[in-house]
Chains A and B, each alone.
Chain A
């Protein structure tokens, strides 16, 4: 399935990656504590902080809390996560913030596979004991998915990644849907949205099944369905607001001027 590489015309033409960063950033509210990974997550957090959530705090599982992000970290252990930080914690302390019930901690996560309930695989393809492809593993993803007040997932949209059944369940989403997450022993949390290069997906209040919420300008329902490996409800879909000129300026000139992540 072909996908658009850029949409619109100058000066508000944008790439899918730019749209992803801006769409995901819009989920962040002032006062949120944002558990950021690297990559697009950092762009999203950087945009949110400069657009609608100046009081949001970005922090890293390694323990760097509220750094300037004058330069983009290329790993969560990069010294740039400490630049001007209010505190340098250790890993255990960092997760004490993720799980603190006083804090509205939102995590940004990526994965190799996702299922209809927003459960994630970042461990392997094939049998766990004899994988055909091995990935990095959980890192802090399972912890953030278990303990944070909610999480937002970045995915490249393809049928190989949106699958009926995960090869390995690394990070708990809505598990089997309905009330199953709470029944498993999680007091809170769960996936809020999935942001892809085509659209934004959300989860039904009751069934916790994924549905198409917003398709990006230039993307059709069929494009999304063809790139999703399970049946998807598109009846509630609307077109996403395209990035504004100001959002694009902030992203390009302030958040990632070297285009280390934007490419």
Chain B
């Protein structure tokens, strides 16, 4: 690892990054997708700092969403999907919180949420789509008009209009832009100038970062900027959009980080089992979040043997032959 001189004041500890950029009541965009590249270390730190009343915005999120909801940090969610693939078709704490009325949800689809981040990134008020016409995604609001006013949200969930250019195309759905207070993401590499490289699928991380008022990135490695600038089409975000960089190997665990490590099937299975019972879940949070001082202690708890087992094949990007039952 090179001496990260040019990142300057942006290079910081996990504790400081969260304390500085995530405030009670913030609208927070979660990067990653279901069991891949979730900003888990940031999420655990938010829970440790007891930052509450968060308003989450994401397309399909899994583990990060579920831990934040389970730890009681979340008041509202705009989302398309809360699940962990085969490890939890519906995230368990998310499901329980919605059924108990502990969080308020407004539903969109993946494409719709991605377009809303794009609208924010482009600084236009909305983006149109044909997706969702005539469905309850369009007909039913999750948030009341009163909540929209109090929380300074757009006055409407969305608007359906006839295509203003050519009536023959029929109706279109206009989706309001999202401009989250902060985007949390995990990347493989950040250059020592702050350039961000994401390997593999980018999901909507790039649009989320461009739409947000602040961007916090954890990364597997800080590398010389010259290395990343030799192949700039592999880079995802320029330095000037990034507010905090936290170098932290395995910061997406137990979700996967392409080319670095796979998801951790055992951890995800144990999590799901604990999540089903309120008491067991409290114990899980105590054991894995509250009583863990920092990320190093978390990794020590996971153990080298496990981390070796999920280590990715450098070509395939995942742990070949991993026991995933």
Contacts and interface: CB of A to CB of B under 8 A. Distances in A.
Contacts of A123: 107, 136
A90 B89 CA distance: 22
B19 interface: no
Contact of A77 (B85, B89, B142, B321): B85
Interface stretch (A11-19, A142-150, A214-222, A228-236): A142-150
Contact of A170 (B84, B135, B200): B135
B85 A38 contact: yes
A105 interface: no
Contact of B140 (A75, A168, A184, A185): A168
A75 B169 CA distance: 35
B135 A134 contact: no
A32 to B, nearest CB: 20
B131 A168 contact: no
A157 B144 CA distance: 36
Given A91-B204, A92-B115, A136-B90, A75 B131 contact: no
Interface residues of B, number: 71
Interface string A159-196: 00000000011111001000000011111000000000
A99 B172 CA distance: 14
A83 B90 CA distance: 26
A53 B289 CA distance: 49
Nearest to A96: B111
A130 B108 CA distance: 17
A146 B83 contact: no
A64 interface: yes
B109 A140 contact: yes
B184 interface: no
Interface of A is mostly: loop
Nearest to A39: B86
Contacts of A61: 110
Interface string B14-57: 00000000000000000011111100000000000000000000
B249 interface: no
A71 interface: yes
Nearest to B256: A79
A130 B118 CA distance: 31
Interface of B is mostly: loop
A135 B99 CA distance: 10
Interface stretch (B5-13, B74-82, B151-159, B225-233): B74-82
A169 B94 CA distance: 20
Interface in A67-97: 71, 73-83, 88-92, 95
B110 A139 contact: yes
Contacts of B207: 90, 92
Given A91-B203, A142-B109, A136 B134 contact: no
B109 A82 contact: no
Given A137-B80, A142-B137, A184-B133, A62 B325 contact: no
A2 interface: no
Interface string B253-266: 00010110011000
Interface residues of A, number: 58
B36 A79 contact: yes
Contacts of B171: 184-185
A175 B80 CA distance: 21
Contact of B86 (A38, A134, A175, A258): A38
A9 interface: no
Given A169-B136, A185-B170, A82 B200 contact: yes
8 contacts: A38-B86, A82-B258, A91-B110, A128-B142, A137-B80, A142-B137, A147-B131, A186-B170
Interface of A: 38-39, 61-64, 71, 73-83, 88-92, 95, 99, 123-124, 128-143, 146-147, 168-172, 175, 183-187, 258, 260
Interface of B: 32-37, 59-60, 62, 79-87, 89-91, 94-95, 98-99, 101, 105, 107-112, 114-115, 118, 130-137, 139-140, 142, 169-172, 200-204, 206-207, 256, 258-259, 262-263, 312, 316-318, 320-321, 324-325
Give 5 nearest A-B pairs by CB, closest first: A75-B85, A185-B170, A139-B81, A77-B33, A77-B36
